[in-house]
Amino acid sequence: MTWKSYAAVSGATVLAGWLASSPPSNAPTSGTRAASSPAPRRRVEAATDIEEQAAHLQSRLQVARAYTEPQRNPFRFAERRSATPSPGGPAPAVEAPPPIVLAPVGPRVSVAGIAEEQLDGRLQRTAILSSPMGVLLVHEGDTVLDDYRVGRIEAESVELVRLSDGTSTQLTFGTPQ
């Protein structure tokens, strides 16, 4: 194909597209003309309908919504008290549940090893503890983690005594607390 044929095909395509997209004519299809009264009535009805819709939208815009408290509070677990009092009298107060007392958490240490040595004919043991602060080498009577004292060091366990209440915790090899 030459440039002339490309131009002819392109021109024919543009012309066909223009003719296909032209708006339809408003000429009546039948030979008799319809009465002129229905067309103005449709225009009047359409204008009235549009005015009604506009008035409806304006009334919706003018309604001010009052603030209402949400039905639930996602940050609380207790039941919500009713904002409106009951007709018979004041609403009953909702009692708060008693606080939950948790048992104290044990020390965050584990026994990594126990070393023994003979000093003046006496056996002295040193416990090697692994804690969040690092490796600790402790003897009986030493203070650990500012809240525990080393009670006894056995061949395979270490006893820690809480300074605040005197409870003891037994630590063995491989059991983290």
pLDDT on residue 105: 72
166-173 average pLDDT score? 86
List strand residue ranges (DSSP E) for the chain, in order.
110-119, 122-131, 134-138, 143-144, 148-153, 157-162, 168-172
How many C-alpha atoms does 29 have within 13 Å on its Cβ side?
1
Phi, psi of 97 (to 5 degrees): -65, 150
Tell me the domain boundaries of the chain.
Answer: 110-172
pLDDT on residue 81: 61
pTM for the model stands at 0.41
Q: pLDDT tens-digit profile of 127-145?
A: 998 888 889 899 999 998 8
Asked if residue 177 has pLDDT above 60, the reply is no
Q: pLDDT tens-digit profile of 27-73?
A: 555 555 555 555 556 666 777 888 888 888 877 666 667 778 888 77
pLDDT on residue 12: 92
Residues 6+ away with beta carbon under 8 Å from 172: 111, 156, 157
Return the DSSP state at 156.
Answer: S
Q: pLDDT tens-digit profile of 79-102?
A: 656 555 555 656 566 677 888 877
